[in-house]
Amino acid sequence: MELAVGKHALPGLDRIIRNDLFSMNVEEKERLLDAVAKTAQSYEEEYGGCGRSTLSAIQKLVGICDQEKFQPLFQSIDALAGGVAYHQEMCAAVIAGVMAIGLVYGPDKLEPLLPQDDLPMSDAMRKHKEAVQRGHDFVNRFNDEFDAMTCREVQRKVTGRYWDMRNHDEWALFITKPYHDKCGLVTAKAASLALEVIMEPSENYV
């Protein structure tokens, strides 16, 4: 059976369910990381939006949540494009990676996260701690890769210059080849790094 991944196909790799991630062997994990990177790159090049491309690629291949829950997340991340509504701040691909990690490991209810007197750490606190630690690890790995985390600086690294996304002429030039396609390299790396962190064993984050 083949799974279409953008313009690619991976023989024998079905869509992975989240709980299966931890029973995969090294070769399967490598193929999955390669697939999610290629999907994220394909989405960015075809549709645009580094945050939604990154998050959608992880959702497509791993199923981090059910589709009904994912739809509002997909819509909400759209306005984070261009470093949060074109303000050139935190790269939306980084935000998407952290969101994916939070969906897998974060608490699913609004409960206290601060210590309650001498009470033991709650389940919500433990989940929050692990989600933050994994998110921190992912952001560091992304920064190690690009030596940048903001949209502005990531643009400089991959295209050689900064683009003012709020200037129509600048934006019109940026979305042409070869400049815009460089963002596909960013989404590919962000998606694979986030999934890599998601697949790390929990004992690494105690």
pLDDT digits (tens, 9 = 90+) for 109-154: 888 887 777 778 788 888 999 999 999 999 999 999 999 999 999 9
Using a pLDDT cut of 70, give the percent of the chain over it: 91
Domain membership flag for residue 133: yes
87: confidence class by pLDDT, cuts 50, 70, 90:
very high
Retrieve residue 59's tokens: 């959702």
Neighbours of 52 (CB within 10 A): 24
In whole angstroms, give the CA distance from residue 187 to residue 181.
10
What is the number of structural domains in the chain? 1
134 neighbors 159 (Cβ within 8 angstroms) = no
Domain membership flag for residue 184: yes
2 neighbors 11 (Cβ within 8 angstroms) = yes
Domain membership flag for residue 199: yes
DSSP alpha helices (H): ranges in the chain?
A: 26-47, 50-62, 67-77, 92-105, 123-146, 151-159, 168-174, 181-198
Q: Measuring CA to CA, which residue among 152, 195, 196, 177 is closest to residue 48?
A: 177
- On average, the pLDDT of the chain sits at 86
Retrieve residue 141's tokens: 């790995």
Residue 100 has pLDDT above 70, yes or no: yes
Domain membership flag for residue 113: no
- Judged by average pLDDT, the poorest of 16-20, 115-119, 173-177 is 16-20
- Give residue 180's domain range: 2-108+119-205
151 neighbors 96 (Cβ within 8 angstroms) = no
More confident residue, 1 or 38: 38
- Read off the pTM: 0.86
Domain membership flag for residue 114: no
Kindly report the three-state secondary structure assignment for every residue of 137-192. Answer: HHHHHHHHHHCCCEHHHHHHHHHCCCCCCCCHHHHHHHCCCCCCHHHHHHHHHHHH
Mean pLDDT over 27-49 rounds to 94
Domain membership flag for residue 185: yes
Predicted pLDDT of residue 118: 73
Residue 66 has pLDDT above 90, yes or no: no
Tell me which long-range contacts 121-125 makes (C-beta under 8 A, separation of at least 24). none
Domain membership flag for residue 19: yes
Domain membership flag for residue 169: yes
